[in-house]
Structure 1
Amino acid sequence: MPYAAQHLAQAPTRPEVDNLPGTTLLEFGTPWCGHCQRAQPFIEQALRGRGDVAHVKVEDGPGQRLGRSFGVKLWPTLVVLRDGHEAARVVRPQDAHTVAEMLPPPTSAS
């Protein structure tokens, strides 16, 4: 799955996220957040050619349960899940290398 430019219309539930197979980059933020906008090229670059990584972009904010369940306090927060379990996390990445480094090595299928 390629880089997702848009936030999901409706956030998945925590049980849905916990049951995601394979590797997923879960991104919490908002469309109007300057830090989130600045990180988009880094995220897109890190995911280029990574068909083995799903990108789920979730709009976060007050009252949003999924973000609270992950303890999100600053945007963007990127969480790498492997079969629904947190494997890595970075808050406000400053470059594509930081994002790419948190992902597992590419599989032969990507």
Structure 2
Amino acid sequence: MTMQAEYMVPAPSLEQVRSLAGVTVLEFGTPWCGFCQMAQPGLEEALSRHHDVHHLKIEDGPGRRLGRAFRVKLWPTLVFLQDGEEVARLVRPASGEAIQQTLERVAA
């Protein structure tokens, strides 16, 4: 699957996310977040190597239920799911390499 370019508003429900099969990366952030913008090239490169990984780019903020359900505090937060269950997390990833290594470990 290709990288999702736009943030989802509204976000899917927790039940919808928990029902996803396979590997999914939830990316929590906002379009105006500088840290989120800096993470995009590394995330795009990592996802381009894993076509079977789903990517959901979810706009987060106060009162956003899905972000609260995953205890998101800083952006971007990448939550890696396997069949709807969290198996890894990166908060403000420092490099595309960190994202790639985590995806390789989760997708193995």
Q: TM-score range by the shorter chain?
A: over 0.9
Alignment of 1:1-110 (within 5 A): 1-104=1-104
Q: 1:103 is paired with a residue of what secondary structure? A: helix
Q: Which has the higher helix share?
A: 2
| Structure 2 alignment gaps of length 5 or more | none
Supply the distance in 1 between the matched residues of 2:73 and 2:35 (Cα, whole angstroms): 13
CA deviations 1:83-105 (Å, max 9, x no partner) are 00001000001111100111145
TM-score w.r.t. the length of structure 2 is: 0.94
TM-score w.r.t. the length of structure 1 is: 0.92
| Structure 1 alignment gaps of length 5 or more | none
Supply the distance in 2 between the matched residues of 1:96 and 1:83 (Cα, whole angstroms): 24
Identical counterparts, % of pairs: 53
Supply the distance in 2 between the matched residues of 1:102 and 1:70 (Cα, whole angstroms): 18
The range that moved more, 95-104 or 69-78, is 95-104
